[in-house]
């Protein structure tokens, strides 16, 4: 048996990539460690945006147009909340609410987030093993130059990534423990892939959980990152543009430009391979300053050859000795 692939990532960008990977990889070969730094409590419910996006995408339920939430969704409950005079900035669909109700009910009964996630994955028929990065509460906070401390989703959704960012904090990360199975999966992996997710909002919160960064440094598996940034392809989709603005705003707070090389520099102590988009091939040397092996392929869906070119390029880095 070949060793499994461990994927680390967030929501929308990561899920699109996992689906591409699953064109050439069996679900049982993939374990995902998903960012929970975006998790929030809204109206008494525990919302896990990245876990839900992952589960919805892997079960074929996600709204492909919007990128988040379920297809064929309605928003009658949120409309009713607005009718009750409530400000609703985080939209939850009526069917999506079932996920949050089930999760919140189970958490209230003492079930861990890992176990809840396994219940949800099973209920949705997801064959991939999906783990939260931790069962503890970690919150990505964006501190603005105006001094406001915003939950990341508040910064992204409510404020449309507009405020200038002074600092990104992973509140609670210091006391968090990796979820059961996370460290073992990394140690036993044949390949670890950092998804094309917002580095500071979706990857670094995972790396901030004590033990995970060390596990990535010490695993025998090669660690590969896929760039979330393709500088030379214009973005037309409004959702993508918002996410790009958020990525750039958070990188700026670290004094970094919104480039693939800047992302690579964040992973320099971990990564052996970095996948750069073919459109940004001129950045190859800049990336190589941080990560020695640069793989140049088309990474965006619909802009080059079929997705499995990317998937095969990524899986080419996998170590193939038997377990």
Question: Contact positions toward a copy of itself, by CB under 8 A?
Answer: 41-46, 74, 76-81, 83-86, 94-99, 101-102, 104-105, 107-108, 120, 123-124
Distances 196 to 7, 17, 264, 300, 314 between C-alpha atoms, Å: 10, 7, 11, 10, 12
Query: Closest CB to a copy of itself among 102 and 309?
Result: 102
Pairwise CA distance, residues 40 & 38, whole Å? 6
| Cα–Cα nearest to 205, from 12, 39, 32, 41 | 39
| Other residues' Cβ atoms within 10 Å of the Cβ of residue 58 | 23
CB of 97 to a copy of itself, least distance (A): 5
Residues 152/140, Cβ–Cβ less than 8 Å: yes
Distance in Å, CB of 313 to a copy of itself, minimum: 36
For the record, the structure tokens of 42 come out as 């809204």
Q: Smallest gap, in angstroms, from Cβ of residue 110 to a copy of itself?
A: 12
Cα dihedral sign, 86-91-97-100: negative
What tokens appear for 225 in the block? 């990152």
Burial call 236-266: b when 16+ CB within 10 Å, e when fewer: eeeeeebbbbbbbbbbebeebebbbbbbbbb
CB proximity list for 266: less than 8 A, separation 6 or greater: 199, 200, 203, 204, 254, 256
CB of 15 to a copy of itself, least distance (A): 19
Minimum gap (Å) between residue 32 Cβ and a copy of itself: 20
Query: CA 117, CA 42: separation in Å to the nearest integer?
Result: 18
- Output the smallest distance, CB 190 to a copy of itself, in A: 32
Least distance (Å) between residue 81 CB and a copy of itself = 4
């Amino acid at each position: 048996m070949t060793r499994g692939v461990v994927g680390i990532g967030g929501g929308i960008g990561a899920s699109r990539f996992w689906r591409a990977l699953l064109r050439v990889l069996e679900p049982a070969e993939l374990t995902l460690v998903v960012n929970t730094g975006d998790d929030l409590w809204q109206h008494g419910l525990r919302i896990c945006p990245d876990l839900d996006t992952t589960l919805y995408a892997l079960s074929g339920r996600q709204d492909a147009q919007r990128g988040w939430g379920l297809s064929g969704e309605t928003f009658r409950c949120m409309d009713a909340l607005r009718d009750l005079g409530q400000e609703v900035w985080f939209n939850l669909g009526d069917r999506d609410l079932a996920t949050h109700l089930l999760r919140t009910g189970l958490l209230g009964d003492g079930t861990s987030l890992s176990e809840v996630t396994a219940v949800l994955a099973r209920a949705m028929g997801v064959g991939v093993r999906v783990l939260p990065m931790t069962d503890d509460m970690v919150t990505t906070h964006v501190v603005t130059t105006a001094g406001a401390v915003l939950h990341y989703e508040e910064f992204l959704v409510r404020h449309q990534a507009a405020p200038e960012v002074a600092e990104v904090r992973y509140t609670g990360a210091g006391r968090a423990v990796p979820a059961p199975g996370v460290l073992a999966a990394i140690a036993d992996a044949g390949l670890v892939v950092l998804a094309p997710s917002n580095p500071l909002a979706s990857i670094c919160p995972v790396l901030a959980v004590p033990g995970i960064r060390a596990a990535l440094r010490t695993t025998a598996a090669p660690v590969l990152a896929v760039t979330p940034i393709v500088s030379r392809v214009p973005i037309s989709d409004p959702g993508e543009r918002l996410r790009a603005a958020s990525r750039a705003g958070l990188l700026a707070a670290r004094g970094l430009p919104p480039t693939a090389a800047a992302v690579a520099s964040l992973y320099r102590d971990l990564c052996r391979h970095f996948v750069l988009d073919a459109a940004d091939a001129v950045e190859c040397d800049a990336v190589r300053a941080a990560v020695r092996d640069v793989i140049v392929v088309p990474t965006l869906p619909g802009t080059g050859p079929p997705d499995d070119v990317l998937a095969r390029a990524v899986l080419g880095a996998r170590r193939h000795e038997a377990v």
